[in-house]
Amino acid sequence: MGLMTGKKGVIFGVSNTHGIAYGIAKQLFDEGADIAFTYAGEIMEKRVRPIAQGMNAKVIMSCDVTKEDEVQAVFNELEKTYGKIDFVVHAVAFANREDLTGDFINTSKEGWDIAMGVSAYSLVTLTRCAQPIMNEGGSILALTYLGSEKVVPSYNVMGVAKAALEASARYLADNMGKYGVRVNCISAGAVKTLAASGIDGFGKMLKAGVLKAPLKRNVTLEDVGKTGLYLLSDLSSGVTGEIVHVDCGCHCVYTSADEMEQMTR
Protein backbone atom coordinates (compact mmCIF):
# COMPACT_ATOMS: atom_id res chain seq x y z
CA MET A 1 0.00 0.00 0.00
CA GLY A 2 1.51 3.28 -1.12
CA LEU A 3 0.94 6.67 0.48
CA MET A 4 -1.45 7.67 -2.36
CA THR A 5 -3.19 4.31 -2.91
CA GLY A 6 -6.86 4.97 -3.62
CA LYS A 7 -6.23 8.66 -4.33
CA LYS A 8 -7.33 10.08 -7.69
CA GLY A 9 -6.50 13.40 -9.30
CA VAL A 10 -5.33 15.38 -12.30
CA ILE A 11 -2.18 17.18 -13.35
CA PHE A 12 -2.35 20.15 -15.72
CA GLY A 13 1.02 20.92 -17.25
CA VAL A 14 3.17 17.81 -17.64
CA SER A 15 5.07 18.32 -20.89
CA ASN A 16 8.12 16.01 -20.75
CA THR A 17 10.08 13.78 -18.41
CA HIS A 18 12.47 16.57 -17.42
CA GLY A 19 9.93 18.97 -15.92
CA ILE A 20 8.84 19.64 -12.35
CA ALA A 21 5.28 18.47 -13.06
CA TYR A 22 6.66 15.10 -14.17
CA GLY A 23 8.78 14.91 -11.01
CA ILE A 24 5.62 15.29 -8.95
CA ALA A 25 3.64 12.88 -11.15
CA LYS A 26 6.31 10.19 -10.76
CA GLN A 27 6.29 10.44 -6.97
CA LEU A 28 2.48 10.27 -6.92
CA PHE A 29 2.37 7.31 -9.30
CA ASP A 30 5.08 5.42 -7.42
CA GLU A 31 2.98 5.83 -4.26
CA GLY A 32 -0.15 4.41 -5.91
CA ALA A 33 -2.05 7.47 -7.17
CA ASP A 34 -4.43 7.27 -10.13
CA ILE A 35 -3.49 10.30 -12.26
CA ALA A 36 -5.31 11.98 -15.14
CA PHE A 37 -3.33 14.20 -17.52
CA THR A 38 -4.12 17.13 -19.78
CA TYR A 39 -2.16 18.60 -22.66
CA ALA A 40 -2.35 21.83 -24.68
CA GLY A 41 -2.85 21.00 -28.36
CA GLU A 42 -1.71 18.32 -30.79
CA ILE A 43 2.02 19.03 -30.51
CA MET A 44 1.96 18.56 -26.74
CA GLU A 45 -0.20 15.46 -27.05
CA LYS A 46 2.70 13.63 -28.70
CA ARG A 47 4.82 14.31 -25.63
CA VAL A 48 2.22 13.86 -22.91
CA ARG A 49 0.27 10.82 -24.07
CA PRO A 50 3.19 8.35 -23.78
CA ILE A 51 3.93 9.64 -20.26
CA ALA A 52 0.29 9.35 -19.26
CA GLN A 53 -0.06 5.88 -20.75
CA GLY A 54 3.09 4.83 -18.91
CA MET A 55 1.32 5.77 -15.68
CA ASN A 56 -1.87 3.92 -16.66
CA ALA A 57 -3.92 7.11 -16.96
CA LYS A 58 -7.66 6.58 -17.43
CA VAL A 59 -8.18 10.17 -18.61
CA ILE A 60 -5.92 11.99 -21.10
CA MET A 61 -7.49 15.16 -22.50
CA SER A 62 -6.66 18.33 -24.39
CA CYS A 63 -7.27 21.48 -22.36
CA ASP A 64 -6.61 25.18 -22.88
CA VAL A 65 -6.71 26.46 -19.30
CA THR A 66 -7.72 29.93 -20.50
CA LYS A 67 -11.04 28.50 -21.74
CA GLU A 68 -13.36 27.63 -18.89
CA ASP A 69 -15.52 25.34 -21.03
CA GLU A 70 -12.50 23.15 -21.78
CA VAL A 71 -11.49 23.08 -18.11
CA GLN A 72 -15.05 22.18 -17.14
CA ALA A 73 -15.08 19.40 -19.75
CA VAL A 74 -12.02 17.87 -18.08
CA PHE A 75 -13.67 17.85 -14.66
CA ASN A 76 -16.90 16.49 -16.13
CA GLU A 77 -14.90 13.58 -17.53
CA LEU A 78 -13.11 13.10 -14.21
CA GLU A 79 -16.47 12.92 -12.45
CA LYS A 80 -17.69 10.30 -14.93
CA THR A 81 -14.51 8.25 -14.47
CA TYR A 82 -13.81 8.64 -10.75
CA GLY A 83 -16.85 10.22 -9.13
CA LYS A 84 -14.77 12.29 -6.72
CA ILE A 85 -11.10 13.30 -6.86
CA ASP A 86 -8.46 14.02 -4.23
CA PHE A 87 -5.89 16.30 -5.85
CA VAL A 88 -5.27 18.85 -8.60
CA VAL A 89 -1.83 20.04 -9.73
CA HIS A 90 -1.54 23.38 -11.55
CA ALA A 91 1.78 23.39 -13.44
CA VAL A 92 0.84 25.78 -16.23
CA ALA A 93 2.59 29.06 -17.08
CA PHE A 94 3.29 31.10 -20.19
CA ALA A 95 4.59 34.50 -21.23
CA ASN A 96 5.59 35.86 -24.61
CA ARG A 97 9.34 35.57 -25.08
CA GLU A 98 9.68 39.29 -25.87
CA ASP A 99 8.17 40.05 -22.45
CA LEU A 100 10.87 37.98 -20.73
CA THR A 101 13.73 39.99 -22.19
CA GLY A 102 14.78 43.60 -21.85
CA ASP A 103 13.20 45.86 -19.26
CA PHE A 104 9.97 45.01 -17.45
CA ILE A 105 8.77 48.58 -18.04
CA ASN A 106 8.30 47.70 -21.72
CA THR A 107 5.87 44.84 -21.05
CA SER A 108 2.98 45.07 -23.50
CA LYS A 109 -0.63 45.08 -22.34
CA GLU A 110 -1.23 42.00 -24.48
CA GLY A 111 1.80 40.27 -22.96
CA TRP A 112 0.63 41.17 -19.45
CA ASP A 113 -2.86 39.76 -20.10
CA ILE A 114 -1.50 36.53 -21.59
CA ALA A 115 0.94 35.91 -18.71
CA MET A 116 -1.68 36.67 -16.07
CA GLY A 117 -4.41 34.64 -17.75
CA VAL A 118 -2.40 31.49 -18.36
CA SER A 119 -0.16 31.59 -15.30
CA ALA A 120 -2.41 32.98 -12.54
CA TYR A 121 -6.12 33.24 -13.34
CA SER A 122 -6.16 29.65 -14.57
CA LEU A 123 -5.65 28.49 -10.96
CA VAL A 124 -8.91 30.22 -10.06
CA THR A 125 -10.66 28.51 -12.98
CA LEU A 126 -9.28 25.07 -12.09
CA THR A 127 -10.24 25.43 -8.44
CA ARG A 128 -13.76 26.62 -9.23
CA CYS A 129 -14.37 23.71 -11.61
CA ALA A 130 -12.75 21.18 -9.26
CA GLN A 131 -14.60 22.19 -6.11
CA PRO A 132 -17.84 20.23 -6.69
CA ILE A 133 -16.00 16.92 -7.14
CA MET A 134 -13.19 17.32 -4.58
CA ASN A 135 -13.21 14.96 -1.62
CA GLU A 136 -12.91 16.42 1.85
CA GLY A 137 -9.22 16.27 2.71
CA GLY A 138 -8.30 16.97 -0.91
CA SER A 139 -5.38 19.13 -2.00
CA ILE A 140 -4.69 21.63 -4.78
CA LEU A 141 -1.08 22.49 -5.60
CA ALA A 142 0.42 25.18 -7.85
CA LEU A 143 4.01 25.78 -8.92
CA THR A 144 5.72 29.13 -8.43
CA TYR A 145 9.24 30.58 -8.27
CA LEU A 146 11.30 33.07 -6.26
CA GLY A 147 10.89 35.65 -9.05
CA SER A 148 7.52 36.38 -7.44
CA GLU A 149 9.27 37.79 -4.37
CA LYS A 150 12.52 39.21 -5.71
CA VAL A 151 13.75 40.60 -9.02
CA VAL A 152 15.23 37.87 -11.21
CA PRO A 153 16.82 38.92 -14.52
CA SER A 154 14.82 37.87 -17.59
CA TYR A 155 11.84 36.75 -15.51
CA ASN A 156 9.99 40.06 -15.75
CA VAL A 157 6.23 39.71 -16.23
CA MET A 158 6.35 36.06 -15.22
CA GLY A 159 7.53 37.14 -11.77
CA VAL A 160 4.51 39.41 -11.46
CA ALA A 161 2.22 36.62 -12.68
CA LYS A 162 3.69 34.22 -10.11
CA ALA A 163 3.10 36.80 -7.38
CA ALA A 164 -0.54 36.93 -8.49
CA LEU A 165 -0.64 33.13 -8.48
CA GLU A 166 0.62 32.99 -4.89
CA ALA A 167 -1.86 35.61 -3.69
CA SER A 168 -4.65 33.74 -5.49
CA ALA A 169 -3.63 30.51 -3.76
CA ARG A 170 -4.00 32.17 -0.36
CA TYR A 171 -7.48 33.48 -1.15
CA LEU A 172 -8.47 30.13 -2.64
CA ALA A 173 -7.18 28.38 0.48
CA ASP A 174 -9.58 30.54 2.48
CA ASN A 175 -12.48 29.79 0.10
CA MET A 176 -11.82 26.04 -0.08
CA GLY A 177 -11.22 25.52 3.62
CA LYS A 178 -14.91 25.12 4.34
CA TYR A 179 -14.93 22.11 2.03
CA GLY A 180 -11.93 20.57 3.78
CA VAL A 181 -9.71 21.19 0.73
CA ARG A 182 -6.21 22.65 1.01
CA VAL A 183 -4.45 24.97 -1.48
CA ASN A 184 -0.67 25.43 -1.46
CA CYS A 185 2.25 26.38 -3.71
CA ILE A 186 5.74 24.99 -4.20
CA SER A 187 8.38 27.62 -4.95
CA ALA A 188 11.00 25.48 -6.65
CA GLY A 189 14.59 26.53 -7.17
CA ALA A 190 16.31 26.57 -10.54
CA VAL A 191 16.05 23.16 -12.22
CA LYS A 192 17.23 22.16 -15.69
CA THR A 193 13.87 21.94 -17.45
CA LEU A 194 12.65 22.64 -20.97
CA ALA A 195 10.69 25.66 -19.70
CA ALA A 196 13.69 27.09 -17.86
CA SER A 197 15.85 26.85 -20.98
CA GLY A 198 13.80 29.71 -22.42
CA ILE A 199 15.08 32.11 -19.75
CA ASP A 200 18.13 34.12 -20.86
CA GLY A 201 21.13 33.52 -18.64
CA PHE A 202 19.65 30.42 -17.02
CA GLY A 203 23.05 28.71 -16.90
CA LYS A 204 24.34 31.58 -14.77
CA MET A 205 21.31 31.21 -12.49
CA LEU A 206 22.23 27.57 -11.88
CA LYS A 207 25.81 28.52 -10.99
CA ALA A 208 24.62 31.35 -8.74
CA GLY A 209 22.26 28.94 -6.99
CA VAL A 210 25.12 26.65 -6.02
CA LEU A 211 27.10 29.59 -4.61
CA LYS A 212 24.16 31.01 -2.66
CA ALA A 213 22.37 27.89 -1.38
CA PRO A 214 23.19 26.70 2.15
CA LEU A 215 23.11 23.13 0.80
CA LYS A 216 25.64 24.14 -1.91
CA ARG A 217 23.74 22.48 -4.73
CA ASN A 218 20.77 23.04 -6.98
CA VAL A 219 17.46 21.39 -6.29
CA THR A 220 16.54 18.19 -8.17
CA LEU A 221 13.29 17.00 -9.68
CA GLU A 222 13.18 14.35 -6.98
CA ASP A 223 13.47 17.03 -4.28
CA VAL A 224 10.53 18.94 -5.70
CA GLY A 225 8.56 15.79 -6.45
CA LYS A 226 8.81 14.55 -2.86
CA THR A 227 7.59 17.89 -1.54
CA GLY A 228 4.71 17.72 -4.01
CA LEU A 229 3.87 14.27 -2.69
CA TYR A 230 3.88 15.61 0.87
CA LEU A 231 1.58 18.54 0.02
CA LEU A 232 -0.84 16.36 -1.96
CA SER A 233 -0.98 13.58 0.61
CA ASP A 234 -2.55 13.32 4.05
CA LEU A 235 0.89 13.97 5.58
CA SER A 236 0.22 17.71 5.13
CA SER A 237 -3.37 17.61 6.40
CA GLY A 238 -2.91 20.80 8.45
CA VAL A 239 -1.06 22.82 5.80
CA THR A 240 -2.89 25.31 3.57
CA GLY A 241 -2.28 28.76 2.12
CA GLU A 242 1.45 28.05 2.23
CA ILE A 243 4.30 28.81 -0.18
CA VAL A 244 6.84 26.04 0.41
CA HIS A 245 10.32 26.84 -0.88
CA VAL A 246 12.21 23.87 -2.30
CA ASP A 247 15.42 25.55 -3.41
CA CYS A 248 18.17 24.22 -1.14
CA GLY A 249 17.75 27.39 0.93
CA CYS A 250 18.46 30.01 -1.78
CA HIS A 251 15.46 32.10 -0.80
CA CYS A 252 16.77 32.74 2.72
CA VAL A 253 20.25 33.99 1.77
CA TYR A 254 21.00 37.53 0.56
CA THR A 255 24.58 36.69 -0.36
CA SER A 256 26.92 33.89 0.63
CA ALA A 257 30.60 33.85 1.54
CA ASP A 258 31.27 32.04 -1.74
CA GLU A 259 29.55 34.81 -3.71
CA MET A 260 31.48 37.48 -1.84
CA GLU A 261 34.72 35.71 -2.68
CA GLN A 262 33.74 35.54 -6.36
CA MET A 263 33.00 39.30 -6.40
CA THR A 264 36.35 40.24 -4.85
CA ARG A 265 38.47 38.24 -7.26
Catalytic residue among 22, 39, 82, 155: 155
Three-state helix/strand/coil letters over the chain: CCCCCCCEEEEECCCCCCCHHHHHHHHHHHCCCEEEEEECHHHHHHHHHHHHHHCCCCCEEECCCCCHHHHHHHHHHHHHHHCCEEEEEECCCCCCHHHHCCCHHHCCHHHHHHHHHHHHHHHHHHHHHHHHHEEEEEEEEEEECHHHCCCCCCCHHHHHHHHHHHHHHHHHHHHHHHHCCEEEEEEECCCCCCCHHHCCCHHHHHHHHHHHCCCCCCCCHHHHHHHHHHHHCHHHCCCCCCEEEECCCHHHCCCCHHHHHHHHC
Active-site hit among 121, 145, 171, 254: 145
155 is catalytic: yes
Establish whether 254 is a catalytic residue.
no
Give catalytic residue positions.
Answer: 145, 155
